[in-house]
Amino acid sequence: MAKFDPGIKAMNQLTVNDIRKTATPIVCLTAYTAQIARLVDPHVDLILVGDSLGMALYGFDTTLPVTLDMMIAHGAAVVRSASHAVVAVDMPYGSYESSPEQALQNAQRVMRESGCAAVKLEGGAEMAATIRHLTQNGVPVMGHIGLMPQSVEKMGGYKIQGKDADSVTRLHTDAQAVAEAGAFCIVIEGTIESVARDISAVSTVPTIGIGASAACDGQVLVINDLLGLTPKPPRFAKRYAELAPVISDAVSAYAKDVRARRFPAPEHVFGKKNA
């Protein structure tokens, strides 16, 4: 696979330190392809090449089948199209849990081959040693606690976190451990509002919520949910557009034109007078 060529970055390229220090709400969105990244980049602070691409692009039921090669290929495509936002790439299931050494080797590969600025990995206190090992070796890390889709089997489904005292205590411990280990920000997914608010109030690094209320320091959504491309989006995901019927109508019109021999018209044909 071709190595990333950094090229010339724009003057207003944000860095992980800008994200760590910002006082304004952090705008984060997923992107998986060059075209979408180009449209997203000017408007957001952080682009996450999430392993949600397993569902959004590949038609998997969960994120578990996503591979390191997929993340690198999509990460590189996004990096090539982003000149403003920080690009972070998800470490997929099985690529970092075995040991801090395994995580570093794979995270360095993701950074080297995609050109991304940071990686994200799921896990709380149990991943603190790994996060520390990565950050001490020059790999910026975005944490991810709360509902962790890679642990869907272990968690017994996509369940809201923070509903009982044990869960609340664990979430606080996780957030503190991940921040102390050196993460520059922490995604909090699928937790009740009061927990997200309390963690955000004391966290030494910004929190980025998804299904965790407006009490976080920033928000992230899956782009397909926002654009109306997900058949059954989660309740927390606001649809800012309804692109599915737009695409369906366009394809239907094309199919009708081809069948009626209306397309291609003279203006689409080489060698015709007005081509």
Write phi, then psi, for 10 (nearest 5 degrees). -65, 160
Q: Which residues in 65-88 are b (16+ Cβ under 10 Å) and which e?
A: ebebebbbbbbbbbbbbbbbbbbb
Cβ-proximal residue to ligand KIV, closest one:
50
Residue whose CB is less far from ligand KIV, 4 or 236: 236
Residue whose CB is less far from ligand KIV, 111 or 119: 119
Among 220, 226, 227, 228, binds ligand KIV (CB under 6 A): 220
Residue whose CB is less far from ligand KIV, 48 or 185: 48
Binding mask 222-241 for ligand KIV (x = CB under 6 A): x-------------------
Pairing of strands 86-90, 46-49: parallel
Give Cβ neighbours of residue 78 (< 8 Å, ≥ 6 apart): 31, 32, 33, 34, 37, 47, 49, 87, 114, 116
Determine if 114 is a binding residue for ligand KIV (CB under 6 A): no
Confirm whether 193 is a catalytic residue.
no
Tracing tokens 């922490």 back to the chain, one arrives at: 186
Measure the CA angle with vertex 69, ends 66 and 73; round to 5°: 105
Residue whose CB is less far from ligand KIV, 79 or 210: 210
Number of chain positions touching ligand KIV (CB under 6 A): 12
Instruction: Please report how close the Cβ of residue 56 comes to ligand KIV at its closest, in angstroms.
Output: 8
Tracing tokens 């009982």 back to the chain, one arrives at: 164
Instruction: Give CA–CA dist 64/62, Å, rounded.
Output: 5
Determine if 217 is a binding residue for ligand KIV (CB under 6 A): no
Determine if 199 is a binding residue for ligand KIV (CB under 6 A): no
Instruction: Give CA–CA dist 183/125, Å, rounded.
Output: 12
Catalytic residue among 113, 122, 153, 189: 189
Residue whose CB is less far from ligand KIV, 104 or 186: 186
Determine if 50 is a binding residue for ligand KIV (CB under 6 A): yes
Whose CA is closest to 211, among 262, 148, 253? 148
Residue whose CB is less far from ligand KIV, 34 or 252: 34
Q: Which stretch in 47-55, 199-207, 241-249, 255-263 sits in contact with ligand KIV by CB under 6 A?
A: 47-55
Determine if 90 is a binding residue for ligand KIV (CB under 6 A): yes
Instruction: Give CA–CA dist 59/70, Å, rounded.
Output: 13
Tokens, residue 50: 């999430």
Q: Which stretch in 44-52, 76-84, 106-114, 196-204 sits in contact with ligand KIV by CB under 6 A?
A: 44-52
Tell me how far CA of residue 136 lies from CA of 130, 141, 183, in angstroms.
Answer: 10, 10, 11
Among 40, 44, 48, 82, binds ligand KIV (CB under 6 A): 48
Tokens, residue 41: 């980049």
Among 16, 26, 30, 224, binds ligand KIV (CB under 6 A): 30
Residues that bind ligand KIV (CB under 6 A): 30, 48, 50-52, 90, 144, 187, 189, 210, 220, 222
Residues forming the active site: 189
